[in-house]
Structure 1
Amino acid sequence: MKKILVIGGSRYFGKGLVALERETGNEVTVLNRGSGIPPRGVAHLVADRDDEAGLLAALGERSFDVVFDQVCYTPRQARLARRVFAGRTGRYVMTSTMEVYDPAPPTSEALDYAEGKRQAEAVLGGESAFGVVAVRTAHVLGGGRAEFTGRLAHYTERIGAGTPVAVHEAPYPTSFIHHHEIARFLHWAGEQEFTGPVNAASHGELDVLGLGAAVGERLGRAPLYRTVGPGADDASPFSFDRAYAMDNGRATALGFGFGRLTDWLPEAIGETAAVLRADPARHRPPLTGAPRHQGGDRARH
């Protein structure tokens, strides 16, 4: 049995990670600002990760075999983590993002996010007192109520209603991963000994037209599109005018078996469509434009 700390872990695939660690028989602690109560059998520490004194007070004398950091977004947070967890853990798994590869983020917000993640990775990986893994996750999707970001619902609602989807003229493919799969990957990464950055993505790339076709096939509706120019603010999520896909070769060589995007995407679309039918307002995306941030983990974990 290992002692596990999950920083964040109150939403989306962070909840799946907590459940996996508990099911494995590990002693699990969740640390957050009180935004979500962990399940029974999981200890709960309430602290603001940006408050070093408060974080130290909440941790007390506790130490952990593995720390999973779901919400490290800046080099300042990374430096604080290096100080606080030195001598408290032997392995630190940071959830990063495929955004670190993006050479041209579409907005200043995305630029700040991508650069923050790049710098946080560098800080944690530089002469840390513990082994560090930076999991660069692909765009995370999940069906039904799990997909609260509204990105998959953006397509499901529009195509189902016959509303055109805004896409680039020649969109590039990108990478995806199911929320259950990324939870499994993080759990697996915590049990290994390798360090450094590693990409996590299901096998198979898909561009926005392929995604629209998959949604249309599941719904029985032919998708409609309208073309936008390079750098347009109203392009739909996952429409890219630049190369934006990841190679999962390192993780595969290290022994993780990824599933195929085409195997889980239809079910995720169907689950999202069912939720929209039951509660149309729950996942409704903007009527004009779309969420511009495309990141794998920007939606809180």
Structure 2
Amino acid sequence: MQRICVIGGSRYFGKLLVTRLQAAGHHVTVINRGSTRPPAGVEHLVVDRNDEAALLAALGSRTFDVVVDQVCYTPVQAAIAARAFAGRTRRCVMTSTIEVYDPATAALPAVPAGTPVPEGNVDPRTWRVAMDLPWHDEAYLEAHYAEGKRQAEAVFTRDGGFVFASVRCAHVLGGGAQEFTGRLAHYTERVCRGEEITVHAQALPTVFIHYEELADLLLWAATAGDFTGPVNACSDGLLDVRDLAAVVAAQTGRDPVLRAVAAGGTASPFSFDRHYAMSNTRAKELGFTFSRTADWLPGAVAETVAAAAEPAASAASAAPVAPVAPVA
């Protein structure tokens, strides 16, 4: 049994991670602002991780074997956590993102088209950190999501008083209504309604991971090894937006209506005009086994279609029934 602290863990794969850590016999502590309670038997500290004094007070004398930071988006947040958990844990795992490799958000080393991007393409040991940027401004943070993650990784790597690893997760799908971003629903709803889906004329492939597989990988990263540095998390197999639309079409029985946008135009989620699909080779070499996207994606699409149908069915059943006219 290990003592594991999860910062966040209130929804989607973070919530599932907490459940699986507990099922594996670990003592789990969840830190969040209290909007969602963890399962029974999980210790719950209600505190804003951005308030360093309050975080230290909530932690008290607690120590952990591992901290899993699910909701670190900025170098400021990373610095607070690095100070708060220095001397309290031997290891920290941060959930990061494929977006750190997006060449539209930073000047990155060129990778040949079609070559999955390795972890070394973004090295947190050398990445510049700017703490004085307006990281507390929500609009700024949303527009600089990838850079916030890169700099957060850099702070933990250089300033954390513990062993540090980051999990750079691919686009996460699965779980029906639990998939709160609505990106897969964007496709299923438009296909079902016969609405246009905007795509790039030469859309490039990307990588995905099922939310259950990501929870398994985070559990593994936290408990099954002491590797350091970033590791990419994606199922096997590259898909582009047309491949995704074809899977949706197969599950719904409706043909997608695709419309190409002009160069530089805005397209639907998962349509990319730049290459940054990740390589999962390092995680495999460290011992994790990935599934194939083609094997689980049809089921994820079916769940999303079913989730969209449930509110409509509920609304229909709740509607008042019109009286039947008597037969003359």
Q: Give the counterpart of 1:206 among 199, 214, 239.
A: 239
Q: Which of 243, 249, 252 is matched with 1:216 structurally?
A: 249
> Contact 1:5–1:28 at 8 Å: present in 2 too?
yes
> 1:143–1:269: 8 Å Cα contact kept in structure 2?
no
Is 2:189 the counterpart of 1:157? yes
Aligned residues: 281
SS in 1 for 2:25: coil
Contact 1:143–1:270 under 8 Å retained in 2: no
Q: Could you tell me which residue of structure 2 aligns to residue 296 of structure 1?
A: none
1:145 aligns with 2:177: yes
Question: After the TM superposition, which of the residue ranges 143-152 and 104-113 deviates more from structure 2?
Answer: 104-113
**C-alpha displacement of 1:151:** 0.5
Q: CA deviation at 1:13?
A: 0.4
User: How do residues 62-141 of structure 1 correspond to structure 2 at under 5 angstroms?
Assistant: 62-105=62-105, 111-141=143-173
Residue of 174, 178, 185 corresponding to 2:210: 178
Q: Any idea what the Cα deviations from partners look like across 1:172-216, whole Å, max 9, x if unmatched?
A: 000100000000000000121100000000000100000000100
For 1:210 and 1:280, how far apart are their aligned partners in 2? 28
SS at match of 1:90: strand
Partner SS, residue 167 of structure 1 = strand
Give distance in 2, aligned partners of 1:230 and 1:87: 51
- Determine whether 1:275 maps to 2:301: no
* Distance verdict in 2 for CA 1:124–1:109, change over 3 Å: closer
In 2 relative to 1, CA 36–12 (structure 1 residues): closer, same or farther, beyond 3 Å? same
- Equivalent residues of 1:132, 1:196 under 8 A apart: yes
Cα distance in 2 for partners of 1:281, 1:177 equals 30
Residues 114/281 of structure 1: CA separation in 2 closer, same or farther (3 Å cut): farther
State the SS of the aligned residue for 2:263: coil
Q: Where does structure 1 lack aligned partners over 5 or more consecutive residues?
A: 283-301
> 1:253 offset after TM fit, Å?
0.6
One-letter amino acid of the counterpart of residue 300, structure 2:
A
Q: Unaligned regions of 5+ residues in structure 2, if any? A: 107-138, 315-328
User: Which amino acid in structure 1 is aligned with residue 43 of structure 2?
Assistant: A
Q: Distance in 2 between matches of 1:268 and 1:3?
A: 33
Aligned-pair CA distance for 1:162 = 1.1
AA in 2 matched with 1:199:
N
Shift of residue 61 of structure 1? 0.3
What is the RMSD computed on CA atoms of the aligned residues? 1.7
Shift in Å, 1:105: 4.2
Task: Measure how far apart 1:153 and its partner are.
Answer: 0.5
Q: Secondary structure at the match of 1:115?
A: helix
Cα displacement (A) at 1:231 = 3.1
Q: In the alignment, residue 41 of structure 2 is paired with which amino acid?
A: G
Structure 1 residue 7, shift from structure 2 partner? 0.2
**Equivalents in 2 of 1:81, 1:130: separation in Å?**
11
Offset, 1:110: 5.3
Residues of 2 paired with 1:142 and 1:274: CA distance? 12
Which of the two has higher C-alpha Rg?
2
User: Partners of 2:158 and 2:70 in 1: how far apart?
Assistant: 19
In the alignment, which of 283, 286, 289 is matched to residue 257 of structure 1? Answer: 289
How big is the shift at 1:264? 0.5
Q: Report whether the alignment pairs 1:12 with 2:12.
A: yes
> Which one-letter code corresponds to 1:266 in the other structure?
P
Looking at structure 1, the residues matched to 281 and 55 of structure 2 have their Cα atoms a distance apart, in angstroms, of: 37
Look up the match of 1:292.
none
Aligned-residue identity in percent: 60
